[in-house]
A and B are shown apart, each in its own frame.
Chain A
Amino acid sequence: MLQINNLHKTYKHALEPSLQGLSIQFSTGIIAGLLGPNGAGKTTTISIICGLVAPDNGDVVVLGDNVRSELDSIKRKVGVVPQSIALYPQLSVFENLQYVGKLYGLKGTELKDKIYHYLRIFGLDNNAKKAIKHFSGGMKRRANIIAALLHEPVLLILDEPTAGVDVQSRNMIMDFLKMYNGQGHSIIYTSHLLEEAQELCDEVAIIDNGKLVAHGNTEDLISSYHANNLEDLFLKITGTKVRD
């Protein structure tokens, strides 16, 4: 589903490159974890995949389409849940989703039904008319995910979707992702919560300093490094030095 070949990116005014020759391949139908310490290049990689940032060099092919030439086609097939709550705080969750849905070309009863379908799944149907700014952290995260699902993407990319949420919300999100993957959709997911990633991901790719440092089936990778779990593996590969 995703081929990243020799990706390079250095932001303007940055002292060091964010990506230096990153290459990864993920197959279709899996939940893949893109892991790495702070500043490893995870968000930059996701931003390039969905066309928010232009790469300096290298190629990205998503579901058969190249990001440089077929971005619109990629955007139709991919749903992205950004790290920030990318919704209008002063509008209700229904109004936010209605606007996003309309921009995707959905309308009328189809759109309304779809919005309420996901609001029910994520337990937000009773708060449909409530402004996002009055939502709890967990509610905002769930609403943020729904906005990426309305056009039924084949590939769902989530950048730290459970950051700062309570256990209940996290469980709800995790259950949904498993169910969505069970329906044949692919998922790429980044997180600093490695226990969560171990539970969820079929494959993990660990990047550090803009380079791939490990990639494989989650359980195989843990055992090949003689690690106790994903967190242990992560520390063995990336070290214990604090990153800024």
Chain B
Amino acid sequence: MQKKAASVSRIIATIINECRLFLKDIAGLSLLLLMPIVLTVIMALIQDAPFREYQNITFDVLWVDNDHGQLAKKLQEDFSQAKQFHLVTSVDDKVLDDAAVKALVQKGKYQIGIVIPNGLSAEVINSANQIANDIGSKIGAPGKLPQRESRPGNDIQVYFDPAAKQTFKLSIMNALEKFTTKSEAELTLSRLAKTMKSQDGNANDSVNIDLQNRLRAVGIREASPVSASIYGATNSVQHNVPAWAIFGLFFIIIPIAGNMIGEREDGSLTRLKLIPGSYFDILFGKLFFYVMVGVVQFYLMLQAGVYLLPHLGLPALYMGHAPISLFITAAVISLTATSYGVLIGTVFRTANQALPFGSISIVILSAIGGIWVPIQILPHALQQLAKVSPLHWALDIINDLFLRNGSFYGILPKLSLLLGFSAVFFIIAGIVEKRRKR
């Protein structure tokens, strides 16, 4: 009993001592608390754009209409109505032509340029007439529309900035394809309606509307596997804030490793080892302190997501409905980061070795762990590699709690896995320390 009381007293003394050391180091305090918040907010803002759907972003599109026909006009209307596109037909008071568009996009001043070729509408109308006539003749429609032989080679030219990403190109091409197909389909339907003109010469609009409605018979609707309020929260903030908060939390290894190496170098570790009683009490006190600092740091970063980001034009972070599970998770993530810091501080002899390795290893573990981009978009091999990163499991648990309505028992296996990482880090650190004593 007396031994236990002495042990607790040593742990408390160590926690107080670590607090004193922490408060005397203003730079370290800023690093630990302020910088990760700044990092989380900035990364959430910067990384918001790639996570947004393209409908929410407006692109300037250089537009050259060499056709001036019905289809070109329809396409221009559709592009203008779509919120994500802003059509630019002149630059510096000069009406654009094919060459100007090519030059401006090549220089990277604009990302997209679209040139509608001369005769496009005529070609599409001719094609629609051919289809309408073919169908009309088979169903015995009374009318016959004028048609000629098709003239190939009237393609819409799309220019992309050479630096544009493939996914971006694909999205724009899909949008263009959608608008073109829609216009062609409408034109074909209207031509077909013309062939069905009644003998008195009135166009049968009901046929037209009916055909268009029938073409919309199969709809696609996004359904939510969880409650609507949670599902509504699936936005960039939900990925970025927890992800960068975990990343920032892991940087706690720098003060821990620095502290351990400093203690070795200035001899204070020698002093601690000369004192009777288990060194484990002192180590436990230190770990407890840093785990709690990590938890406070993590919550501050999440609170920045809840209260600060909405003032910067982003949605507020949704933190789920499991506060106790979240606290336990934060403590376990912090313990994992702390134990990694202990490992780095034990294995490396100097700060010059430990700090660069520690920082770069966190960047690597975060990259493969899905902190920078969701692992779903990574190649299969990298998705498998993510499993060796504790940051991946940490983020996965947070997603379980925030977005998948996860229960404590549901996240328990993943928490155990993080505790396993901690155990491995401590065991390796213990082995290295023991070998060093020899």
Interface residues of A in 45-98 (CB under 8 A from B): 50-54, 72-73, 75-76, 80, 82, 84-91, 95
A117 and B11 alpha carbons, distance in the complex (Å): 26
Q: Is there an interface contact between A72 and B437, defined as CB atoms closer than 8 Å?
A: no
Q: Counting CB contacts under 8 A, is A206 at the interface?
A: no
Interface size grouping (class) on chain B: 20 to 34
Chain B residues with Cβ under 8 A from A82's Cβ? 267, 270-271, 274
Instruction: With A53-B437, A90-B21, A91-B21 as known contacts, state yes or no: A107 contacts B9, CB within 8 Å.
Output: yes
Q: Is there an interface contact between B270 and A84, defined as CB atoms closer than 8 Å?
A: yes
Instruction: With A50-B274, A72-B276, A104-B276 as known contacts, state yes or no: A84 contacts B267, CB within 8 Å.
Output: yes
A76 and B277 alpha carbons, distance in the complex (Å): 9
Q: Is there an interface contact between B274 and A105, defined as CB atoms closer than 8 Å?
A: no
Of all chain B residues, the one with the shortest Cβ separation from A83 is: B267
Chain A residues with Cβ under 8 A from B266's Cβ? 84-89
Q: Is there an interface contact between A99 and B13, defined as CB atoms closer than 8 Å?
A: yes
Chain B residues with Cβ under 8 A from A12's Cβ? 435, 438
A interface, over-half SS: loop
Q: Counting CB contacts under 8 A, is A236 at the interface?
A: no
Of all chain B residues, the one with the shortest Cβ separation from A131 is: B24
Q: Mark B14-47, 1 if CB is under 8 A from A, else 0.
A: 1011001100110000000000000000000000
Partner of A75, one of B9, B267, B276: B276
A104 and B275 alpha carbons, distance in the complex (Å): 7
Chain B residues with Cβ under 8 A from A105's Cβ? 6, 9
B interface, over-half SS: helix
A191 and B235 alpha carbons, distance in the complex (Å): 69
A100 and B276 alpha carbons, distance in the complex (Å): 11
Chain A residues with Cβ under 8 A from B132's Cβ? none
Chain B residues with Cβ under 8 A from A85's Cβ? 266-267
Q: Is there an interface contact between B276 and A87, defined as CB atoms closer than 8 Å?
A: no
Nearest CB of B to A9, in Å: 9
Q: Counting CB contacts under 8 A, is A147 at the interface?
A: yes
Q: Is there an interface contact between B271 and A86, defined as CB atoms closer than 8 Å?
A: yes
Nearest CB of A to B277, in Å: 7
Instruction: With A84-B267, A102-B10 as known contacts, state yes or no: A76 contacts B438, CB within 8 Å.
Output: no
A76 and B118 alpha carbons, distance in the complex (Å): 98
Q: Counting CB contacts under 8 A, is B292 at the interface?
A: no
Chain B residues with Cβ under 8 A from A167's Cβ? none
Nearest CB of A to B213, in Å: 77
Partner of B274, one of A53, A75, A95: A75
Q: Mark A133-151, 1 if CB is under 8 A from B, else 0.
A: 0000000000000011000
Chain B residues with Cβ under 8 A from A147's Cβ? 271
Q: Counting CB contacts under 8 A, is A103 at the interface?
A: yes
Q: Can you pick out 19 interface pairs between chain A and chain B where the beta carbons lie within 8 Å of each other?
A: A11-B438, A12-B435, A52-B270, A52-B274, A75-B274, A82-B267, A82-B271, A84-B266, A85-B266, A87-B271, A88-B268, A91-B17, A91-B20, A91-B21, A99-B13, A102-B10, A103-B272, A104-B275, A148-B274
Please list the residues of chain B having a beta carbon within 8 angstroms of any beta carbon in chain A: 6, 9-10, 13-14, 16-17, 20-21, 24-25, 266-277, 282, 435, 437-438
Beyond known contacts A80-B274, A91-B20: 6 more, CB 8 A cutoff: A11-B438, A52-B274, A75-B275, A87-B268, A99-B13, A102-B10
